[in-house]
Chain A
Amino acid sequence: MARIDLVDLAHSYNGAGADPASFALKPTSMTWRQGGAYALLGPSGCGKTTLLNIISGIVQPSRGKVLFDGKDVSALSTQQRNIAQVFQFPVIYDTMTVGENLAFPLRNRGMARADIEARVHEIAQLLDLRPYLARKANRLSADAKQKISLGRGLVRADVAAVLFDEPLTVIDPGLKWELRSKLKVLHRALDLTMIYVTHDQTEALTFADTVVVMHEGAVVQTGTPQELFARPDHTFVGYFIGSPGMNVLPADVHGSEARIAGHRLSLGRSYGNLPPGARIEVGIRPEFVHVAAPRPDLLSAAVERIDDLGRSRFARLRVGDLRMAARVPTGTALPHGTAGLVFDPAQIHVYADSRRVEGTA
């Protein structure tokens, strides 16, 4: 039970003297609230596992401090930090039964036998492992083994935080949903701080209250799923979250007008504050652009194909040599050849060097 603060944390696997651009984790400061459900989201190799391992103490950071409730724990071992972690692949103590596996972290800490019994039963109940408690753990399926790993992570009530490192990788898709919602229930029931690392946006957005998006070793945005969707702070967030990702188009922006491929587009806000010399782009989610019959006052685009996602349809388009996606409204005939694009001005964001610029009304 703790608030976790990261103070100017950075890590390089080549030592602190390495080129800062090559750091696996670029200098990061942030705070994790007690009892929060967090997701660390990013593509493979973006440094999310490194960050997790630094919090748990498996990796010693090259720079910076980790504070638990304001106390510096950077020099403490994983054991002393009192943290639980669940790994990508199930870790099972082969010779023990399921119950002994769950009891292992408690037994090692010298808890009373009766208390261990009670807690193991509680966790086994929550994870539907009750019928298997007396079975040898190595005789179970991969799914069940990972449930045991999850159980061992959750069994200690007094941990500072429970860290999950892509724990559902080996789980069948059907069971994934079930386990994910189970984790959410467990989070509410147990009042533990949980940090969940994943590269799957659906997993992150369904599990977490707060999603931390990482890109090339740096945290690019922290926010609720709604914030990440509606106001991506970085073009990477826009692109990574959402399916299809946000359209990012190079543009000239003057005041409240943008010029994209020769077409004038009026923005909802005015941008007089753009840094000179920066690479300017506008971003808009495909959900907020829709295709219509071509008209002279609309940006015209060549239709390449239509993706039918069941509940919605998206057109893949080409404007000059830019590629983008736009919604095909229900009831509209499927466009082919050339189409006009209608933008929702309130949902257009302007980016300078990939970072979002706040407009003025």
Chain B
Amino acid sequence: MEKITNQKAWLLVLPVFALVAFSAVIPLMTVVNYSVQDTFGNNAFFWNGVGWYHELLDPSTELGGRFFASLWRNLAFSAIVLLIEIPLGIVVALAMPRAGWGVAFSLVVLALPLLIPWNVVGTIWQIFGRSDIGLLGWALNRLGFDYNYVANPLDAWLTIIVMDVWHWSSLVALLCYAGLKSIPDAYYQAASIDGASRWAVFTAIQLPKMRHVLVIAALLRFMDSFMIYTEPFVVTGGGPGNSTTFVSIELVKLALGQFDLGKAAAMSIVYMLIIIIVCWVFFTVMTNAGQDRKSAGGEP
């Protein structure tokens, strides 16, 4: 069919462009603007070109050292959290009841952590883990463990990881549960007729059918954990030392603590690019298996 040329259609997307411009593009451009300038106060700015970027991406400088240290810390945190929450979410979803009153009950219980504001989650665990008055910290110390997240980096990491698992595993579980519920009964009946073991049912039916929700879950959890700020800030404040200073905490220190707007702006841009690139690569790789199905056109 002949394509009709009609430039008026652009007018229809104009409102969206305007909205996105005001909510995202223009603020982002001010950050770009800061990242290529330096200031010594008095609202006087000087052109610095890509100087900040050079410094940021060179680990031997003070700025680059701080950035890469927090970046590796953050990537390690995201990796650990994903490795725990995804399998745990799957296990929880598999164990959830399929019918009866237990469904509503477990959905509500699982949704509870998700409804709590992030700084409240931080506060809960901050108090919970304290060795003097916190139930967890006190109990662990009474049991003979030398647990103190304020002084010991390993304890601080454990606390933050357990907190994140507590806070977000439900999200993975709920998504997986939705994926499991969408599998028609005939699949289970067929598997039982084919004599499949429980493990074979999981690997041959449940896991493949959950693949799409798992991609979503992993993406959401990666982005969220990579941008984590509030909870560790409330619990450990980035300490002890710098041991739980993640990129966002480092960024806030730089921008609001030291008021180094240029450095902070450059770090923001790089931080954002990393998130976008990782998510893009991840999404492309994980959905590639779905692509070849489309080309065959055999989906009923």
Contact = CB atoms under 8 A, between A and B. Distances in A.
A288 interface: no
A184 to B, nearest CB: 22
A172 B215 CA distance: 34
Given A93-B205, A141-B298, A144-B298, A108 B192 contact: no
A14 to B, nearest CB: 16
B208 A140 contact: no
Interface in B199-236: 200, 203-205, 208-209
A139 B292 contact: yes
A139 B293 contact: yes
B144 interface: no
Contacts of A190: none
Interface in A183-215: none
A136 B187 CA distance: 18
Give the interface centre of B195, B200, B209, B297 by most chain A CB atoms within 10 Å: B195
Nearest to B292: A139
A327 interface: no
A149 B204 CA distance: 15
Contact of B208 (A94, A139, A142): A94
Given A77-B192, A95-B208, A139-B293, A108 B200 contact: yes
A91 B194 CA distance: 11
Given A94-B209, A142-B300, A105 B194 contact: yes
B195 A140 contact: no
B194 A89 contact: no
Contact of A105 (B186, B195, B208, B296): B195
A165 to B, nearest CB: 9
A104 B292 CA distance: 23
A145 B196 CA distance: 19
Contacts of A139: 292-293, 296, 298
Contacts of A149: 190
B1 interface: no
Nearest to A146: B300
Contacts of A18: none
B193 A84 contact: yes
Contacts of A79: 192-193, 195
A87 B194 CA distance: 13
Of the listed residues B200, B204, B209, the one surrounded by the most CB atoms of chain A closer than 10 A to its CB is B204
Contacts of B300: 89-90, 142, 145, 170
Contacts of A170: 300
Contacts of A84: 193
A140 B298 contact: yes
Nearest to B207: A95
B189 interface: yes
B148 to A, nearest CB: 47
Nearest to B187: A91
Contacts of B15: none
B184 A89 contact: yes
B43 interface: no
Contacts of A88: 186
Contact of A78 (B184, B192, B203): B192
B214 to A, nearest CB: 14
Interface in A256-285: none
A79 B190 CA distance: 10
Contact of B196 (A77, A94, A104): A104
Interface of A: 56, 58, 77-79, 83-85, 87-91, 93-96, 104-105, 108-109, 136, 138-142, 144-145, 149, 152, 170
Interface of B: 184, 186-187, 189-190, 192-197, 200, 203-205, 208-209, 292-293, 296-298, 300
7 contacts: A56-B193, A87-B190, A105-B195, A108-B196, A138-B298, A139-B296, A145-B300
Given A79-B195, A142-B298, 4 more contacts: A85-B193, A88-B186, A93-B204, A140-B298
